Amino acid sequence: MVSQESIVNIEKIRSLELRGDYRKALEISQEIAEKNKNNFFLQNLNGYILYKLNNFKLSKKYLINSIKLNKNFATSYYLLGLVNRQHNEMEDALENFIKAISINPNLKDAHYNIIQILSSFDPKRNLKHPYVYTNLNIEKIKFKYNENKFIEISEVKNFLKKTIDIVDKNLNKIDYPYMQIYRHNSLNLNCDRHFKIFNTYSIIPEFCFDCFKIVVEVEKMLDLVKLYFIFDNFYVGLKNNRKVMVEQRPGVSGKYKGLIYTKNLKELNEIEKNLQKIVKNNIGDNFSISTKRGCTEFSQKFPDYKEIKRDKNKMMLFNNDWKEKEKIIDGKIYNETSEESYINKFLSGSKLNDILVIKNWLKFAKKNKDYSAEL
């Protein structure tokens, strides 16, 4: 039973959460959690706020308390799975996500997290779970990639038919909303934090002035799948975060893209040179490659930001007056016990996540009359 006072405090927490002020929200959630140690919901709520503040160790404590008090509250298992991911406890994360959907099959984010973490580790348990079993069978379908050889459309279609058939045979219809396939290393670019600063104050965070990217654009969806194979096997850029995607942002040109992120101009130029040759070998001449700085949204607000020049001092420089704005946001989303976010490094090779995204690409291509993508 939740008291009227606690209900009022819960509403205050929700209001602070909507404003992104998790630090102030914690002051309230911590107090009511300590006063109501036998209330699973309030233990869970405090665990959630601690998670949002990157206080993962403390969050784990309260989420475990919540589960002890109520073993049928799916949200606590789901949140505990997220904490497990941050501590690279992947088997535990998988089990908690599976437990969450066994209690509440409609908890979509738990489904999504199962699919996504299967791109980051090879589970030793739960091998008969439909998602795990399907992922294992997709991994058995190997695409014979050669960076010096042109990739034939027939090879791509054959691979897709086999892997999509595995998904369709083993899984019910899945509402999987993603349109991008990532290959992360364990370096966290912390993009959520940077966009929070940009969206709040219309300024570019200092970190983003040393973020560069190579953009490859192709004209046809099946060439995007070829680019996916390139990025999965591109060893020069293996240490770099990269993704292939269908562009859906309003006002942004291009349709089918691949991006590789680098942290300096030397690395940018080295990777671009190698990538240009490989893409030409694998795809042919129907592509473009360019280099830019940072995210498109930033250069829409500050057009000079994207320009790259040999002399870095002639590029747009960070405005030191913006540092105070960054500190304000950091003061809301972090506190003294915040831990560094961990990004689960992706394994190479095709995974369930990849095939589900490619299925979405096929739907997009059909809708946009890209008939070359018909299998």
Whole-number pLDDT of residue 184: 82
Whole-number pLDDT of residue 237: 53
Here the tokens at position 209 are: 């002035």
Whole-number pLDDT of residue 172: 85
Q: How far apart are CA 251 and CA 244, in angstroms?
A: 19
Residue ranges of the chain with per-residue pLDDT less than 50: none
210 exposed, middle or buried (CB, 10 Å; 0-12, 13-18, 19+)?
middle
293 forms beta bridges with 212
Chain centroid to CA 122: how far? 19
Here the tokens at position 249 are: 């942002």
- In order of 111, 312, 357, 361, the CA distances from 94 in angstroms are 10, 45, 20, 27
Sign of CA dihedral 229, 259, 110, 177: negative
Q: How far apart are CA 64 and CA 235, in angstroms?
A: 41
Look up the pTM and report it.
Answer: 0.94
135 forms beta bridges with none
Kindly give, in sequence order, each residue whose CB lies less than 8 Å from that of residue 228, ignoring residues fewer than 6 positions away: 181, 244, 258, 354, 358
Question: All domains of the chain, ordered by start, with CATH?
Answer: 4-115 (1.25.40.10), 180-373 (no CATH)
Whole-number pLDDT of residue 67: 98
